A and B are shown apart, each in its own frame.
Chain A
Amino acid sequence: MSVRIRFDGDEIAGRDGQTIAGVLLGAGRRSWRSAAGAERGVFCGIGVCQDCVVTVNGIENVRACQRTAHEGDIVEREAR
C-alpha cells in the first residue's frame, strides 16, 4: 500500500499511514523548511518543537511529524 503526496513540485510515494515527515524522510528528503537562512527538518518528532512545520493543502504551520499523509496532499515549504 502506498500514499502519494506532492512536495516541491515532485510526486513522492510513502507507505500508507506514514506521517508527512515519514514520507519525506523515506524519499531521502531531510529538510523542508528554512529558518534564518538555514535548512531545517524534523527535530523532536513528537509535536513539541515546531521545527518541521509545512503548509498542507494551503493550511500553514502543520507539524509534518504529527500529520498523517493523505493521497494527493500538496505539501509546501515554509520559511521563517
Chain B
Amino acid sequence: MTRRVAILGAGPAGLAAADAALTAGAEVILLDEGERIGGQFWRHHEQLTDRRMQHQHARFAQLRRAVGAATVHCEASVWRVDADRGIRVHALLGPADASGREAITIDADALVIATGAHDRALPVPGWTLPGVITAGAAQALAKRDGATIGARTVVAGSGPFLLPVAEGIALAGGSVVEVVEAAGVGAIARGWGRAPWRLAAVAGKSGELAGYVGGLLRRRTPYRFGQAVTRIHGVGGVEAVTVQRVDARWRPIPGTDRTVECDSVALGHGFTPRLEAAIQAGCDLSTERFVVVDDRQATSVASVFAAGEITGIGGADAALAEGAVAGFAAAGGALDDRRIRGALRARTRMHAFAARLDTHAIRPGWTSWLDDDTIICRCESVTRARLDEYAAASSRAMRLATRAGLGACQGRTCGRTVETLTAAGVDFDRRPVLSSIRIGELARLHHAEHKEQE
C-alpha cells in the first residue's frame, strides 16, 4: 500500500522532503502558511522578485517541478498536530488572517516537520521605533515586495546571514550604511579558520559568502567586527544609532561609542527554531532546544521526522540535505539506497559548516546595553524593569503579573529573551494552538464536529 506522508513547511527542507518522498513512491501532502512554496529562503513573487536574490534558483525550479506530483496546500495555517494514534493534521485554508477559512483534516502514515526558524533580534533601547525591523524582514521585503524599510539602513547583529540581507537591501534600491557584526575578528579567525580541510569541503558556501563581501566592497559599505548597535535614536522613527565596540562576551566597551546617522535598522542576532508543532507531536528536544533526530531524521515519536532549522541552525543547504533524508525515510526508504547517498554526503558536509555558526552565538554580556525602560515584550510593552521585579518568581507568576510573552505573538519574539532576563522556565515554545486563528473559526469547527456526532 502507498504510504501517505504529510509535510509541514515548504521551505528548502520541506520541498526536499517532498521530492525525496515522491521518489521513494509515497503520496505526499505538503502544507505551508505562505502564499507560494519556497519558505523564507525562496520567498518570491513572480513579478516583484529580483532574480539576483533567488539563490540556487535552478534547485528551486527543479523542486517546484517535482512537487507538482504532490498535493500542495499553500496559505495553510496548521493549528493542531496529533501524532499519538496515527498522524492527523488540522489546518485552515485561505488568505492570511481572513475570517471563515476552509477547515481541512489530513490523516497520514508519516509526518515530516520542517517548520524552519525565524529571526532572533535582541532588544536594544529604541528598537520599537518605526524603521527598526529584523534582518529577516529586510530580506523578506526585498524579495517578496521589492521594497525597503528606508533609504539608509544599518544592518546589525551577528552571523553570516547579515551579508545576504545587506545585499538584498542594496538590490531592492536601499543603501546599507554599515554592517555591524558582534563577533570579533579574533573569534571569527578562530571559528572559521580552524580545520581548513573542512572549509574546503564547504567551498560552495565560502564562495557564496565571499561574493557578498565583494558586494560590500564594491558599494563601499563598511563591515565592522566586534561591534554592536547599542542604542537607536529618533522621535517617531529612526534617526541614528549608537555603535559601540563589544568585548568577547558582547559587553559594550565604555568610551568607544560612535553615532551613525540612518533612517532604518535591520537587527538579526541568530534564529529561533519554530518548535511548536514538534512539541505538540511529542518530539524530544535537546538541551540546546532543537528537535532530536537520528541518522534517518526520525524523531523520538514513531512515524514523525524532522528536518531543517528545527533540528539545528544550519542554513538552506543543510536543510535541503536533511529534508531529502527525512522525506525518503518517512516514505519507507532505506538509508543504504543509492538514491539518497548524495543527500547523506551533503548533510555531513553542511553540518561542518553549521558548527562554525557557533562563532556568532549570542554571548551573555549584551544585557548590559539595556535600559530599565527598554521594552522587552513588544506585544504587551513590558519593560526590563518590570521583568526585573519578577526575576526570581516562577514562570507562571511572572507572566500573569507582567503579561510578558502572553500577547499576540505568544512569546515568539521575546520568549527566549524573557527567559534570559528572568528565572522563567523553558516553556515559551509550548503553544496549544500552533498558529494564529480566530476564535470564531475554532467555534465553528467545534459546532461542525458536534453536528457530525449527533
Which residues of chain A have a CB within 8 Å of any CB of chain B?
Answer: 1, 15-19, 21-22, 25-26, 30-31, 35-36, 38-51, 53, 59, 61-63, 65-68, 80
Contact = CB atoms under 8 A, between A and B. Distances in A.
Interface in B149-203: 149-150
A62 to B, nearest CB: 4
A47 B97 CA distance: 10
9 contacts: A1-B47, A15-B146, A18-B45, A44-B134, A45-B133, A45-B140, A48-B412, A51-B378, A63-B436
A30 B144 CA distance: 17
Given A22-B146, A25-B145, A42-B141, A17 B133 contact: no
Contacts of B144: 19, 22
A31 B235 CA distance: 13
Contacts of B35: 68
Interface of B: 33, 35, 40, 43, 45-48, 95-99, 118-119, 128-134, 136-141, 144-150, 236-237, 375, 378-379, 381, 407-409, 412-413, 436
Contact of A48 (B48, B99, B413): B413
Residue from B138, B144, B145, B407 whose CB has the most chain A CB atoms within 10 Å: B145
Given A39-B236, A46-B140, A66 B413 contact: no
B378 A43 contact: yes
A70 to B, nearest CB: 9
Contacts of A80: 379
Residue from B35, B138, B148 whose CB has the most chain A CB atoms within 10 Å: B35
Contacts of A65: 137, 140-141
A48 B274 CA distance: 10
A7 B36 CA distance: 26
Contacts of A1: 47
A21 B407 CA distance: 21
Given A17-B45, A30-B149, A40 B128 contact: yes
Contacts of B138: 45
B132 A50 contact: no
Contacts of A68: 35, 95
B48 A15 contact: yes
Contacts of B46: 17
A27 to B, nearest CB: 10
A44 B145 contact: no
Given A15-B146, A17-B45, A68-B95, A50 B436 contact: yes
Contacts of A39: 129-130, 236-237
